[in-house]
Chains A and B, each alone.
Chain A
Amino acid sequence: MVKIYTSFCIALFLSVFGSQFLFAYGISIARMNEKYLVLQQDTTLKSKKDPSTFSVKTDTIGQMVRALQKFKTIRDTVNIHSASRVPNLSLQQIIKGNLAGVYVQEPNGEPGTEQSIIVQGASGLLFNKKDIYALQPAVYLNGVPLVADNPFAFDIQKYDYNRIGPATNLLSQIDINNIQSITVIKDPFELAKLGPNAANGAIYITTKNARGGIRDISLNTYFGYVTAPQVNTVNGVYENNFRNQFYKKFNPTGSPASYLRDSTNVAYFGPSNWTDLYYQNTPTFSADLGITGGTERANFRFFGSGTKNAGNADDTGLNRYNLFFGINMAPFKWLTVSSTVNTARLDRTRNKSLRDRFAETRYIPDLSSPLSPNASSYAAYLTENDRNVDNNRSTVLNGNLSLTAKVNKFVITTSGLFNYNEGIRDYFIPSTLLAGISYISNYFGYSQRVSINNTVSYKYDINKNHVVHFELGQSLQGDTYKYNYARAYNGPNDYVKLSFVDGNPTKDGADNPDYLNVLAKNQFYVFRYIDKERNNLMSFYGSAKYSYKTLLTLSALLRRDGVSNGQPDSRWVTTPAFNANFNLKEQFLNGNKAINALHLSASWGRTLRVFQDDRFAAGPQYRSENGWEEEPTIPGYGGLLGINRPYNSGFIGYNISLPFADRTSVALDASFLNNRLNTAITVYNRNDKNSVIGLPVPVETGYSTEYKSGMDINNKGIELLVNGSVIQKNNGLNWNTGLNLSYNQNKLSALPTGINELIYQNDNKLEVGKSVGSYWLYTNEGIYNSDAEVPTGRTFNGIPLKAGDPKWVDYNNDNKIDSKDKVLTGDRLPKFVGGWNNTLIYKNFDLNFNFIFAAGQKAINQYEATRYGFVNREAGNDINSVKEVSSWQSFDNEKNYPIYNPWSPVDPYRTDQDLFLESASYVKLRSVTLGYDFSKTSLFKKSGGKIRRAYVYATALNVFTLTDFSGVDPELINYNGIYDGANITIPRTFVLGFKLDL
């Protein structure tokens, strides 16, 4: 490979110097004149004649850009015009329901929490948080593939609700008012061009960028409120009434939980008014300023914004400060230098929920007295919370520097991209909140990506009709991920909010025994974690595109990628991609007036996928895995580090090769009726092949899983886009509508070693032919009301079933209900997703409303399961026993479940049965905006036209939801399909905004 690279560099040198040296003597005089000319020429005039001369190349997505231009605003791009009036914080919120084939999950209404994007179905498993990280598409910001948090931190975590550190959604960094376009890239050929980063698809964001011309100033601001929801609160009486039906039926002599015994206790039986303190109408606001200016030869853009985004509960919020600077220069006519830098700081105020706190502290105190629903008791608790320290700061910095040179018919581009994200969290809890001990944790982590890309392209005109474009490219990318994390318990008092060590080497003239000792007495008891991981990616590619008039284009690409996270014998992989584009309109329908455009395009491409973890490259290995499920991070034995085979996490052998994705896509797009109606229909088929999965192995070998290559997942789907001007009248009513609808079918198509099914980590099953998002559940058919109803000898995993136990279906008729009677049913991911966006314009008014929907996904209602199964929950004293203050409420559409015996050893309210499985399909009116443009009024026209736009609008966000789901909101479901009711609701927000362009 070294040789290839060297010869490639030499070829590049020759392409510039070789030909020049051949005629260097002959042109030396002319060159002087030329230099003079270059410096003297009037660029403004010249460029107007030939706009391509100085156009700044901001991305390489040729096909995409063409498609964008063709469809103006639709075809897989977000309607920025309407999106910029909605007070969204994150990229995920902006694109939710607005990009075909993209499913966004917003499982928590708390501002700045992590959200997931899945493009055209899941390429992997969905069972734990690490899996979800692995499904995320690449997000490019001005061509910089943004580096995401690495999930390796979950290795040291007991619970994966939140990643350690600030756990802020880093895709909240971009302000919509600085965005030019957001496009989802699904085309196999374009993805192949982007390479292994984009194996899950890509979202390509282009910011508004520097450009020449008249100085352009834009100012945007909004102010509004997130509103508190209406909640039916309950207290101990309600809970006791609920529980009495169980006691009456099955345990008449049993006594209720200790906190529910004393009905004179105001804390639990007094007024339930916790909502006054928990939910608040909270202001949210934002202001930004963008300035663009300069000449055609040197221009710039500056953008700065400040946003305060708020949640409606628990005093949560996020402050964002975003700065952007872009510059383009053309020192010579043939050379452009452009650079952008984007930086943001995200300060997050996190929730005070018990679950998140105990998950962070990994320390669960006695839970027998839950939080009181009474405001005065709850206020005392909040007062203690005020002594917390919870600083969450993420700083992101990314940008690029690119040079483009045009030499003859060659275009040579070299760009350096950098991306650095830093997260800091300082967390302190006073002893009053953690049963007498204080807790502190400190996190510092960063993710860094540096890459250098070089491309050279050459256009060869065979003749007027036949043109071939060649492109050669090379790129090198280096990622580094690191964190330092320490958690510490039991400080000397609640005023010491720092964990430190004794820095004096000597004490009283002798060696200090506590010198740098983190376990010294009377200080915090400290556990420290340090981890770092690096990986490199090197790529070469060559592509050729042949065009025949405007009728037909054929493209082919071949790339070779080398990945340091691959095993040594399979690190370098060659992948091809092809594309054909056929203009049907020109070929067959040239005279047709009804059809304005009709294109058919087909692509096939293969993209390599890179492992997120460097474990797979190592083969058989030794790690420090001495703990167990409850205590996962025991470092060693007797004060010394121990290393052993990864018995807990799974064996990794040789012969693990890199996974890849094969995509096929056929798209037909058409414009009708003077381009008033644009439609596109895309059919895709993606095979994610050779993925690594942990196969169960006989546990007598010490392991429970062995990782092997060979899992294939197939996603098929259809996407439909319709965009039309339904009503088009000058000075009258105009109605533009855009609909996107996509259908996805996910199927596991192969497992390693040819097996047909496997039980994955005990709780889930995978079966070839079924969706990877399927649940594996017992089928519930009611209740045995008496022992006589139970078929003789029927057992549940060896336990005889009795009256009050659930009636589970015995599929294999062996009279034993066991895991063989569990069936795959339901799906964690929706079959249909989409959105419908409408804009009505009448004179200076415009009204926009945006519906989004997702259908076909199901959820397990664990919230109800623990409510009914209160006996086990309260006895357990584990993370699932936690009762949040927000659980003191009842819901209108709550379902009623059978009254089983909650004391039964079969655990009748277990979540692995279809009793708690329910549809989570929804339709939401996501936003409504009403705006008025003053700049068209006579008042502003008189002012001399300096003001290009003065626009006032009002937006309501998350207006209403139509759903059958019995919980609060069908979106508030955790990544694994579990609804636990612990997440903060997605608030209804109202803002008033103002946009001014000068």
Chain B
Amino acid sequence: MNYSNNKISIYRSVILALIFIVVGVNNFSCKKIENVQSIRLATEETNWKTLEDARANLLSVYGLMRSATVSDNTHWLMGDLRQGDFQITNRADLKSIVTGQLNAQYPVINRITNWRRFYAVVNAASLFIERSKQIIPLDSRYTQINNNVDIAQARILRAFAYFYLVRIWGDVPLLISSHDGDFIKLPRTSKEKVLQFATAELLTAAQVIPFKYGGDDPILPGLYYGAGWASWNGNIFTRLSAYIILAHIAAWQGNYLDAATYSKFVLDNYTKSNGSGSNGIVYLDMDALTENVNYYSPFAFKRATVLVGFPFEAGNGLSTANGHIEQLTLASPFIPKAQPEMFVPKDSILKIFTDPYDLRFSVNPANGLYRTNYFYNFTSEQPIFNKIKVIYTAQTSGNLTLFSSTMLFSRIEEITLLRAEACAVLGQRDEAVSALNKAANLRGTTPFDINSSTDLIDAIFQERRRELMGEGWRWYDIVRYNRIKNASGIFIRKNGTPLTFKQFENAGGVYWPVSQDVINANPSIVQNPYWQ
């Protein structure tokens, strides 16, 4: 030990001790390093534990389905444009859809032809069906009945997603479980098989699901997730929703016998969803249909009149710019915008709305005044289609171009008209006429005379065209109509070649091409032959 070693002073020891104490105390252990729980996400360890987890996961399936149907305004681009009543002001991508150039190279077309968004619903629903039952033993608040009803809703959503997929693309891959973390590549399954699966699922779910949630429904009495029917109505699917989707699947398949049965069930039972604090389901008058009048407007609020649909209530912070028909159809003076992106030209309006007493649109031949419920500035080059105008907090005009209109698939008039269609096809003329007149009862039009020589099918589809304009139905109605009529005339020309509807359908023309991105990711998907 030399001298320098003895230089250690008491101060030095104390300070060094302090250093190490500071180091020792302030450092956390390695265990603590690892235990940084993310507060930004839920993991497999934290999800599927409580009642709230069940609710959050179930509602997300609804949210995903809502996004799938409205993203990039898909519902209207696919439903209302193709051979529809709308004309496009400027946008080349929309023009391509109108002219049937569905494989045109535009970002929006590329996005809407990617079916991933519907499969996100399928996957989320499958996960919910597989996993939600884990919660029952962990949280006593989450009962078996509650879980059964939740799973039934997930089944309906999944079936609904498949119906959408088939309507748009025809044959699509059928995945019936989540394959969680396993990325299988499946080819297309025939559309009949897919719809068969969807129908079976819907029928199973329809046995479980109530007419209303959180009310006095004997199937599910008491509050649902702590809330009553008034807050759930219009938001989530009921037994009526299941039957409406069933009816539409049947009608799409040409199975009008089932379509008639299912739609009859809806019309016979719809009052069962009324009460328990809800305003209930009614046939809409014009104020509720186009002027956002409270209590019944299916577009402006989450109301029981939304039989199948997904609301965007402003009061829930859900107003958006994209995802609403208003973005495409409204312009000044409703919102600060020079021109609408699409409009129904004057000639078409006059051709479609022929009844001089039609409250939706008619011109008084005496003074030339016209009704503005559907069309504003009718006399101009670009009449504004203002039937649906839910701006911000359900205003009918305003500067804030965030819209809150519900994505509405079906309301009582729609299912009534489907019933009329089914009965008409089945030859039940009385039933059909009565349903048609019931649906149009509040529109001021002259009722259809049962003895009229006018083609009943034509009349029903004409009424659908008027009543459901801008609700994403037109193209699918055209397809069903032509299937029923099976006309031999030229339906379309493809690169100059004339095609009848039958030839067109057999070639796959009814269906959309699938985005190249889908095929790149799964080469076993074959492009729709019509678009190859």
Q: Are A699 and B114 in contact (CB under 8 A)?
A: yes
Which of chain A's residues 906-928 have a Cβ closer than 8 Å to chain B? 906-907, 910
Task: Give the residue among A1, A454, A702 with the most B Cβ atoms within 10 A.
Answer: A702
Q: Are B321 and A527 in contact (CB under 8 A)?
A: no
Binary per-residue interface labels of chain A (819-846) against chain B in the complex, 1 for a CB within 8 Å, 0 otherwise = 1000000000000000000000000000
Name the segment of A587-595, A610-618, A678-686 touching the other chain. A610-618
A489 in contact (CB, < 8 A): yes
Q: Can you list the 3 inter-chain pairs with the closest CB atoms, starting with the nearest?
A: A436-B399, A702-B123, A642-B60
A151 in contact (CB, < 8 A): no
Q: Considering the chains assembled together, what is the distance between the CA atoms of A644 and B54 in angstroms?
A: 11
Of all chain A residues, which has the CB nearest B115? A699
Q: Which residues of A contact B (CB under 8 A)?
A: 1-2, 4-5, 9, 12-13, 16-17, 19-20, 23, 27, 30-31, 34-35, 38, 152, 258, 331-332, 334-335, 362-366, 368-369, 403, 405, 407-408, 412, 414, 431, 435-437, 452, 454, 474, 476, 489-490, 518-519, 521, 525-527, 531-538, 562, 564-565, 568, 571, 614-615, 617-624, 626-631, 634-645, 647, 651, 653, 696-704, 706, 759, 762, 796-800, 818-819, 871-872, 874-877, 903, 905-907, 910
Name the segment of B178-186, B410-418, B459-467 touching the other chain. B178-186
**Given the known A-B contacts A35-B9, A366-B338, A905-B105, are A623 and B30 also in contact in the complex, defined by CB atoms under 8 Å?**
no
| CB neighbours of A531 from chain B (8 A) | 40
Of all chain A residues, which has the CB nearest B121? A702
**Given the known A-B contacts A16-B13, A564-B34, A647-B124, are A437 and B400 also in contact in the complex, defined by CB atoms under 8 Å?**
yes
Q: Are A875 and B92 in contact (CB under 8 A)?
A: yes
Contact of B91 among A31, A535, A876 (CB under 8 A): A876
| CB neighbours of B23 from chain A (8 A) | 9, 12, 414, 452, 454
Q: Are A630 and B402 in contact (CB under 8 A)?
A: no
B454 in contact (CB, < 8 A): no
4 other A-B residue contacts (CB within 8 Å) besides A5-B29, A638-B236, A799-B105: A364-B321, A699-B119, A700-B186, A704-B116
Q: Are A906 and B105 in contact (CB under 8 A)?
A: yes
Contact of B316 among A571, A638, A910 (CB under 8 A): A638
Contact of B17 among A17, A368, A905, A907 (CB under 8 A): A17
| CB neighbours of B185 from chain A (8 A) | 698, 700
Q: Considering the chains assembled together, what is the distance between the CA atoms of A531 and B173 in angstroms?
A: 37
**Given the known A-B contacts A407-B8, A489-B400, are A644 and B57 also in contact in the complex, defined by CB atoms under 8 Å?**
yes
Q: Are B43 and A621 in contact (CB under 8 A)?
A: yes
| CB neighbours of B180 from chain A (8 A) | 620
Number of A-B contacts (CB under 8 A): 366
Q: Are B179 and A701 in contact (CB under 8 A)?
A: yes
Q: Considering the chains assembled together, what is the distance between the CA atoms of A347 and B310 in angstroms?
A: 45
Name the segment of B134-142, B268-276, B361-369, B516-524 touching the other chain. B516-524
Contact of B317 among A437, A618, A635 (CB under 8 A): A635
| CB neighbours of A521 from chain B (8 A) | 393
Q: Are A2 and B115 in contact (CB under 8 A)?
A: no
Which of chain B's residues 23-56 have a Cβ closer than 8 Å to chain A? 23-24, 26-36, 38-44, 47, 53, 55-56
Q: Considering the chains assembled together, what is the distance between the CA atoms of A631 and B319 in angstroms?
A: 10
Task: Give the residue among A519, A626, A643 with the most B Cβ atoms within 10 A.
Answer: A643
Contact of A35 among B11, B315, B318, B392 (CB under 8 A): B11
Q: Considering the chains assembled together, what is the distance between the CA atoms of A640 and B232 in angstroms?
A: 11
Q: Are A645 and B124 in contact (CB under 8 A)?
A: yes
Distance in angstroms from A4 CB to nearest chain B CB is 8
Distance in angstroms from B177 CB to nearest chain A CB is 11
Q: Are B123 and A701 in contact (CB under 8 A)?
A: yes
Q: Are B184 and A698 in contact (CB under 8 A)?
A: yes
Name the segment of B64-72, B195-203, B419-427, B440-448 touching the other chain. B64-72
Task: Give the residue among B10, B30, B89 with the most A Cβ atoms within 10 A.
Answer: B30
Of all chain A residues, which has the CB nearest B531? A798
| CB neighbours of A414 from chain B (8 A) | 19, 22-23
Q: Are B56 and A640 in contact (CB under 8 A)?
A: yes
B495 in contact (CB, < 8 A): yes
Distance in angstroms from A756 CB to nearest chain B CB is 14
Q: Considering the chains assembled together, what is the distance between the CA atoms of A16 and B522 in angstroms?
A: 65
Q: Are A702 and B63 in contact (CB under 8 A)?
A: no
| CB neighbours of B320 from chain A (8 A) | 630-631, 634
| CB neighbours of A637 from chain B (8 A) | 59-60, 62-63, 66, 235, 310
B313 in contact (CB, < 8 A): yes
Q: Are A643 and B36 in contact (CB under 8 A)?
A: no
Q: Considering the chains assembled together, what is the distance between the CA atoms of A534 and B67 in angstroms?
A: 31
| CB neighbours of B436 from chain A (8 A) | none
| CB neighbours of B32 from chain A (8 A) | 536
Q: Considering the chains assembled together, what is the distance between the CA atoms of A336 and B45 in angstroms?
A: 49
Q: Considering the chains assembled together, what is the distance between the CA atoms of A489 and B393 in angstroms?
A: 12
Of all chain A residues, which has the CB nearest B88? A875
Of all chain B residues, which has the CB nearest A368? B338
Q: Which residues of B contact A (CB under 8 A)?
A: 1, 4-13, 15-17, 19-20, 22-24, 26-36, 38-44, 47, 53, 55-57, 59-64, 66-67, 71-72, 89-92, 96, 101, 103-106, 110-111, 114-117, 119-124, 127, 172-173, 175, 179-181, 183-186, 231-232, 235-236, 302, 310-311, 313-323, 336-339, 341, 392-393, 399-402, 495, 513, 516-518, 520-522, 531-532
Q: Are B13 and A20 in contact (CB under 8 A)?
A: yes
**Given the known A-B contacts A407-B16, A638-B302, A700-B522, are A644 and B61 also in contact in the complex, defined by CB atoms under 8 Å?**
yes
Q: Are A476 and B28 in contact (CB under 8 A)?
A: yes
Contact of B183 among A20, A366, A626, A698 (CB under 8 A): A698
Q: Are B317 and A696 in contact (CB under 8 A)?
A: no
| CB neighbours of B39 from chain A (8 A) | 532-533
Q: Are B41 and A819 in contact (CB under 8 A)?
A: no
**Given the known A-B contacts A435-B401, A910-B105, are A634 and B30 also in contact in the complex, defined by CB atoms under 8 Å?**
no
**Given the known A-B contacts A34-B6, A332-B9, A622-B47, are A640 and B115 also in contact in the complex, defined by CB atoms under 8 Å?**
no
Distance in angstroms from B87 CB to nearest chain A CB is 14
Q: Are B104 and A799 in contact (CB under 8 A)?
A: yes
| CB neighbours of A407 from chain B (8 A) | 8, 12, 16
Distance in angstroms from B296 CB to nearest chain A CB is 19
Task: Give the residue among B115, B513, B521 with the most A Cβ atoms within 10 A.
Answer: B521
Pairs A–B under 8 Å by Cβ, sample size 26: A23-B1, A35-B11, A366-B336, A366-B338, A405-B16, A437-B399, A452-B23, A454-B23, A489-B402, A490-B392, A521-B393, A533-B39, A617-B36, A618-B38, A618-B41, A639-B315, A639-B317, A639-B318, A699-B116, A700-B172, A701-B183, A704-B116, A796-B105, A872-B92, A872-B106, A905-B96
Q: Considering the chains assembled together, what is the distance between the CA atoms of A627 and B232 in angstroms?
A: 21
| CB neighbours of A875 from chain B (8 A) | 89-92
Of all chain A residues, which has the CB nearest B103? A798
**Given the known A-B contacts A414-B19, A564-B33, are A643 and B183 also in contact in the complex, defined by CB atoms under 8 Å?**
no
Q: Are B63 and A368 in contact (CB under 8 A)?
A: no
Contact of A630 among B16, B319, B321, B518 (CB under 8 A): B321
Contact of B26 among A334, A452, A562 (CB under 8 A): A452
Q: Are B399 and A622 in contact (CB under 8 A)?
A: no
| CB neighbours of A628 from chain B (8 A) | 67, 71-72, 117, 322-323
Q: Considering the chains assembled together, what is the distance between the CA atoms of A437 and B30 in angstroms?
A: 53
Q: Are B43 and A798 in contact (CB under 8 A)?
A: no
Q: Are B43 and A903 in contact (CB under 8 A)?
A: no
**Given the known A-B contacts A619-B43, A638-B302, A704-B116, are A525 and B517 also in contact in the complex, defined by CB atoms under 8 Å?**
no
Q: Considering the chains assembled together, what is the distance between the CA atoms of A612 and B270 in angstroms?
A: 53
Q: Are B16 and A476 in contact (CB under 8 A)?
A: no
Q: Considering the chains assembled together, what is the distance between the CA atoms of A412 and B15 in angstroms?
A: 12
Of all chain B residues, which has the CB nearest A798? B103
**Given the known A-B contacts A533-B40, A645-B123, are A363 and B401 also in contact in the complex, defined by CB atoms under 8 Å?**
yes
Distance in angstroms from A31 CB to nearest chain B CB is 6
Q: Are B122 and A643 in contact (CB under 8 A)?
A: no
Q: Considering the chains assembled together, what is the distance between the CA atoms of A65 and B327 in angstroms?
A: 63
Of all chain A residues, which has the CB nearest B46? A622
Contact of B522 among A519, A537, A699 (CB under 8 A): A699
Of all chain B residues, which has the CB nearest A15? B16
Of all chain B residues, which has the CB nearest A16? B16
